[in-house]
Amino acid sequence: MNSDNKNERKWFAVYTKPRWEKKVDSVLLRKGINSWCPLQKVQRQWSDRKKIIEDPLFKSYVFVHINEEERLKVLTTDGVLNFVYYLGKPAVIRNEEVEMIKKYLSEEDAKIEVISTEGFKENTKVRITHGVFMDNDGTVLRGGKKKVYVQLQSLGQVMVVEFPAEYLMPL
Q: Where are the domains of the chain?
A: 3-93, 112-170
CB 121 within 8 A of CB 131: no
Terminus-to-terminus CA distance in the chain, angstroms? 42
pLDDT tens, residue by residue, 98-153: 988 888 888 766 666 665 443 333 455 666 666 666 676 776 554 344 444 554 54
Give the ranges where 17-166 is alpha helix by DSSP (H): 21-30, 71-75, 95-106
At the fourth CATH level, which superfamily is domain 3-93? Answer: NusG, N-terminal domain (3.30.70.940)
At 45, which helix (H) or strand (E)? Answer: strand 39-45
CB 149 within 8 A of CB 139: yes
- Percentage of the chain lying above the pLDDT 70 cut: 61
**Top-level CATH class of 112-170?**
mainly beta
pLDDT at 67 over 90: yes
pLDDT of residue 100: 85
